[in-house]
Amino acid sequence: MHMGTTNNSDRIHGLGWIPAAMMVLMLAVLALPGMAMAQEDMTMIRSDAFEHHQRPAVRFVHDMHNEMAEIDDCSVCHHVYEDGKLLEGETSEDEPCSSCHPAQPESGELGLMRAFHKRCITCHDETGKGPLTCGGCHVKN
Ligand code: HEC
Ligand code: HEC
Ligand code: HEC
Ligand code: HEC
């Protein structure tokens, strides 16, 4: 009886090792895109949602930009709306702009390019700081 129990638990332990190893592997794989999502590493805006890019990628050193521009509120850019109303204090930084602003907008929708331009250029214009020319944002390497 005693031997049987020991063998049994050994077998269970032995089998349990394989799913545990797979879990570790899966977690490691899942962690990779998560790490790429850190905004402190972001230096460029290049949305995959545009099928054909007509312009070079846009310079945007995320954290440095927001520090220099003294923007503390993430929802200035990562906003949330409900029934057409802006929700104060809610943020959507876990979602790319393209998840709500389509690259190919239907009429009446705010398309992705206009959403970017409206957000970025309006503030530069109003504050008199930051680039306003195409090449100032879409920088050639
Ligand atoms: C001036 C505008 C602006 C502000 C302010 C801002 N962000 Fe962002 N952030 C962006 C843009 C643009 C992207 C790229 C979105 C896309 O890919 O569609 C982005 C992407 C991100 C991402 C994803 C990073 C990646 O590599 O995909 C995270 C996370 C993020 N921001 C967090 C924050 C947090 C937290 C704050 C406030 C502390 C903040 N952001 C403030 C503009 C801003
Ligand atoms: C969770 C959905 C969602 C995300 C993510 C989102 N938006 Fe919006 N945005 C909306 C909605 C809804 C409106 C209001 C209706 C409309 O005009 O499309 C709006 C309006 C806007 C407007 C016009 C009003 C204003 O504030 O000037 C701009 C510009 C804009 N978004 C830019 C952006 C940018 C840039 C990003 C990414 C950093 C972004 N949005 C991410 C849903 C979203
Ligand atoms: C709420 C205001 C505001 C918004 C929104 C904003 N900016 Fe700016 N931006 C500034 C200010 C202010 C500066 C000047 C900072 C300084 O040099 O002191 C600046 C500077 C810059 C610069 C030059 C400095 C550098 O980092 O090379 C670039 C490029 C830039 N912005 C790109 C963008 C892009 C792209 C967006 C949209 C995703 C954006 N900005 C949205 C306020 C804003
Ligand atoms: C303040 C910064 C800023 C300025 C100034 C600006 N853009 Fe953009 N533009 C952006 C951002 C951010 C995107 C999103 C980039 C991406 O995802 O590749 C964008 C996207 C685009 C796109 C769609 C993506 C592509 O590559 O085809 C076009 C076209 C474009 N801009 C053209 C222009 C033109 C033309 C001008 C000058 C009249 C201009 N932009 C000025 C920030 C800017």
Cα separation of 32 and 48, whole Å?
18
CB of 115 closer than 6 angstroms to any ligand 4 atom: no
72 close to 57: Cβ distance less than 8 angstroms: no
Q: What local confidence, expressed as pLDDT, does residue 19 receive? A: 74
Measure 26 CA to ligand 4 centroid, in angstroms: 37
131 and 96 in a common domain = yes
> Do 113 and 102 meet the contact criterion of CB atoms below 8 Å apart?
no
**Whole-angstrom Cα distance, residue 121 to residue 126?**
9
* pLDDT value of residue 32: 55
- Based on the domain organization, do 105 and 43 belong to the same domain? yes
The DSSP code for 49 is T
47 lines ligand 4 (CB under 6 A): yes
The tens-digit pLDDT sequence of the chain (141 residues) is 454 444 454 555 555 666 777 777 776 666 655 455 689 999 999 999 999 999 999 999 999 999 999 999 999 999 999 999 999 999 999 999 999 999 999 999 999 999 999 999 999 999 999 999 999 999 997
How far is it, in rounded angstroms, from Cα 51 to Cα 68?
32
Per-residue pLDDT, 6: 47
Nearest-CA residue for ligand 3 atom 28 is 130
Residues 102 and 62 in one domain: yes
> Does 50 share its domain with 24?
no
Model pLDDT for residues 67-98, shown as the tens digit of each residue: 999 999 999 999 999 999 999 999 999 999 99
Q: Tell me how far the alpha carbon of residue 58 lies from the centroid of ligand 4, in angstroms.
A: 7
Q: Say whether both 73 and 133 belong to one domain.
A: yes
Closest ligand relative to 62 C-alpha: 1
The residue nearest atom 5 of ligand 2, judged by CA position, is 97
Cα gap 80→30, rounded to integer Å: 26
The whole-angstrom separation of Cα 47 and Cα 117 is 13
Shared domain check, 78 and 47: yes
CATH of the domain at 59: 3.90.10.10
Q: Given this model, what pLDDT does residue 61 score? A: 97
Query: Domain of 9?
Result: 1-36
Ligand 1 centre to CA of 54 (Å) is 23
Residues 18 and 77 in one domain: no
**Given the structure tokens 């929708």, which residue do they identify?**
109
Whether residue 91 is found in the same domain as residue 48: yes
Q: Whose CA is nearest to atom 25 of ligand 3?
A: 65
With contact defined as beta carbons under 8 Å apart, do 81 and 87 qualify? yes
The answer to whether the CB of 132 is under 6 A from ligand 4 is: yes
- Residue 112: how many other CB atoms lie within 10 Å: 21
**Pair 71, 126 in one domain:** yes
Q: How far apart are CA 141 and CA 59, in angstroms?
A: 10
Are residues 65 and 132 both part of a single domain?
A: yes
97 shares its domain with 120: yes
